[in-house]
Homo-oligomer: A and B are copies of this chain.
Amino acid sequence: MPSRDDRLWNDLMALGGLTDPGRPYTRRCFTDRFLEGRRWLSQRFEDAGLRVRLDEGGNLIGRLEGGDPFLPVLAMGSHSDTVASGGRFDGPLGVLAGLEVVRRLRDRGIALRHPVEIIDFLSEEPSDYGPSCIGSRAMTGFLDEPMLSLANADGETLASAMRRMGADPSRLAGPRRNDVAAFLELHIEQARVLETRGCNIGIVTGIVGIARVEIEFTGAADHAGTTPFHVRQDALVAAAATISAVRRLGEAFAARSQDYFIATTGCIAIQPNAANVVPGTARLVIEARAERSAHLSDFLDEISLASLEAASAANVQRTAFRPLSRSEPAPSDPRLREHLMAAADALALTAIPMASGAGHDAGFMARIAPMAMVFVPSRDGRSHCPEEWTDAAACSEGASVLFEALLRIDGDDRFATRDGASSPARSD
């Protein structure tokens, strides 16, 4: 029988090994490879004594009953799907660590009061159908008909693809779950903060909200040789000033806020994009991420102003300032964070509070239950690439924090009522 540490690590490597050949580590949702991974995972759940089911949203759930049939669920999980040519940790760690926690309970003969569920959420990564976090959206009432009707390039709808994965989208209109007392997600950090500061554990204060806008400038695609500066309407010049403003104002927001704030211009497209033609149109996609909703709004207001000024200076029109998407920040539950911090202390692990700049299934779970997340270090901050790496010891430490915290939460009467479960802490 392998040691506890080896067991989790071996699971991670075994699931990672189920990859499209030739492009490790690829197990994209809605593929046969993904189903192969789920069959493996389902067997592991059963081996650990969990009762396995697929819910209507296509989430694979392994359940361990508790001592008190009237207590709500303590849930842990993440996702087993990957991006193309991704890594072995983003997602699987949170699912397999939950499984490992259950095994440790059994190893030690510990019976909890609460039932425990380990959840493998469907398609956390962006899919060919558009949205990400499909399973956690489904569980929390955020997967609506327009989303279900989105189609991939072959014309297959998301609803149809979900059915292929064993989901039943027709049942999603029903009431969302109200039986979850707490949700915990262990995840790799995907950044360099823990590594740089030499810390073992990040206790997530909140998952950022994300606002994306598209900005479009329209000038005139004149001849680059014959059009003097004073009559030019160069859309790229306006775009460049706006890109610089996003960085400058973003840094100012980050510097004056206690909370996490970041902003990026990630996309640009110009027309006609020819060496000898003044750019006639330019399109940017800008995103801001913040722990506080008001910061998103304030930043977008400032960028709107800056882009209007940039348009005016370049003698072009700002023909669009179009919101593309907006998700609200999801703060972690302070009581759960206390239990996680106490768990880390008990294990003599160094732990620091930090924001999650990336979205996670836990962000949707926060809509129906108290939520908290644990981060472990990512080597060089790399993620979504084959080089993604977290040491076996760090993976095990993350699982240990979940284990110790779960015992504490199980004993905390504040999580013993369904009232508590259905009224999570919010601060939108």
Contacts and interface: CB of A to CB of B under 8 A. Distances in A.
Interface of A: 189-193, 208, 210, 212, 222-229, 231, 234, 236-237, 239-241, 243-244, 247, 250-251, 254, 262, 264-270, 273-279, 285, 287, 289, 324, 356-359, 381, 383-384
A53 to B, nearest CB: 32
A222 B381 contact: yes
A227 B266 contact: no
Given A226-B191, A227-B191, A275 B267 contact: yes
A77 B399 CA distance: 81
Given A240-B240, A287-B275, A384-B223, A228 B262 contact: yes
Do most interface residues of chain A lie in helix, strand or loop, or is the interface mixed?
mixed
Contacts of A381: 222-223, 226-227, 231
Contact of A267 (B223, B247, B265, B273): B273
B383 A223 contact: yes
Contact of A274 (B193, B267, B383): B267
In the complex this chain forms, how many copies of it are found?
2
Contacts of A192: 227, 231
B229 A240 contact: no
Contacts of A189: 226
Q: Name the residue in A192, A243, A251, A384 with the highest tally of chain B Cβ atoms < 10 Å from its Cβ.
A: A243
Which 9 residue pairs spanning A and B have beta carbons closest together? A225-B357, A191-B226, A240-B243, A224-B264, A226-B357, A240-B240, A225-B358, A266-B275, A275-B285
A142 to B, nearest CB: 19
14 contacts: A210-B225, A223-B383, A224-B266, A225-B356, A226-B356, A226-B357, A227-B357, A229-B251, A239-B243, A240-B265, A265-B279, A266-B276, A266-B277, A276-B287
A237 B229 contact: no
Contacts of A251: 229
